[in-house]
Structure 1
Amino acid sequence: MRIHRVRQGETLRQIAETYGVTVRDLVHYNELSSQQIVPGLALLIPGGEPLGVQAYIVKSGDTAASIAAKFGLSNELFSQWTGYETTSTLSVGTRLYLPVRHPTKRNIEVNGYLLPTGRPSDAHILQELSILTYFCTFSYQARADGSLEAPKDDVALRAARAQRIRPLVTVTNFDGTNFNPSLAHTILANASIRRRLIDNMASTCKAKGYGGVNVDFEHMQPEDRPLYNQFIAQLRDSLHAQGLSVSIAMGPKTADNPTQSWMGAFDYKTLGSEVDFLMLMTYEWGWVGGPPLAGILQHNSHS
């Protein structure tokens, strides 16, 4: 994949011809609702030499042209990525984000969440997204007695097996309306309920062919932090004994504040050592009225 930033007067057809791709591909990969584009829009260009991104801080003696030459960038590509021409004057300390060519592609793991309906559309979605490593069924709702309320996931599971996508059970403290902190506390604070829920997760995986569990408890009370750590450790031991993975979804933060509302319950250091991998919900940096933002799947180095 490459990135092209749309310039004034450019059309989708012109961009497609420039890169030797089809307009249909550009519409598909960028999920465009029409062929109308605006200046400044970043478009994914399928195929080509893979690119990464590197930050560069302008130093004394640097010029835009010398930086472009150092990274092997044409004036057009330098301008697309930085907004500057190679004739521009750059201030010392300016941070630029520049493309770096990778001679070989790296393997990555990709996860997606699916709200199954039990209809053929579930299978169609997974067929379109056959590049997924995992898909998380959203969601099995934990109840206060340790039972699970299951979604209609049979169609999705059959499609996942056909596409060789590993399905994961997503277990939440969602009560049908909201993520419920009191529900999470009831489960975490009672050893027998906690055990019953863990056993039900494991038996669901075995009965339906899931490859593991993804826990998405949200808006927990900060004081439940040690209880959540204990719960995840117990879940890990139970699932690993059966060859199943354990992962969690967590909100993003820049520093650890154990008393912070809804984020304080997440002990990054401890949880990171307990799970096989985790999903950082970095779209939480945004808000429900704003644009979508990316999430990150992070593997535990100990797994």
Structure 2
Amino acid sequence: MVLFKLFDIIDVRMADILDILLITIILYYVFLLFRGTRAVQMIFGGLLLILAWLLAQWWELNTLVWLLSNLATMGIVAVVILFQPEIRSALTRIGQSVSQANLRSIFFHSSGLDGVTEAICSAVQDLAKNKFGALIVLEKRVGLRNYEETGEILNAKISSRLLRSLFFPNSALHDGAVILNSECIVAAGCILPMPTGNAEGDAGYGMRHRAAKALAAECDAIVIVVSEETGGISIAYRNTLRRKLSIKEVEAEIKRHWKDLFDVNKISNLEDN
């Protein structure tokens, strides 16, 4: 057993340090699981009651101490009843993570790139299968505010279902482009620039492909195009337009181009926390 003195006063074992570290990690991830739910307000309410009990002990308010102590005996049952939905949801999320052998995501923050990529690729695959035309712009370092303002500002969470619905035929926004950044779907129904004159090699392209090429040529965004005629998937970047891509190739391109942005966001979130 390894012992050493902390500040030359307290005997500390390595097991004590490990114990404190594990409790800290558990409490931290409990707070993460409950963050954004009504349980947060209840937790603050419980902390206020504990603070009141400590102050009552300090000032020897015996009646208040008796009342709060009796309330505490029912506290565990009350917590289980009040937090039942949150506890069930938290246990489900932990079980899903373990069943998927994704232990790393339990102890470390994932950047979120995998989930966003999966949502985009799922939508693109479904749109291509049904031959629904689509124009999806993935913003990188160069801002696209002037194009975002030509459409409807959404600032919505990136989801496969929302992307599919935006390009559903006859919907109000299906003819324009959808612009995404690494955090959200920024805008839909956006108007992209068209090449001036007859650009070389554009004769066989439709309006979506030409608009994708024109935007990609003037900024660092990558533009995903789904053909309404063939269901083929293309990606425009800088001065290139790659056609007839598989969904695996689209996935690889999204991760390659957005990886740095998500790594930066991950570091920023850790610093904010």
TM-score normalised over the length of structure 2: 0.29
Structure with a larger share of its residues in helix: 2
Structure with a larger share of its residues in strand: 1
TM-score normalised over the length of structure 1: 0.27
- Rg larger for: 2
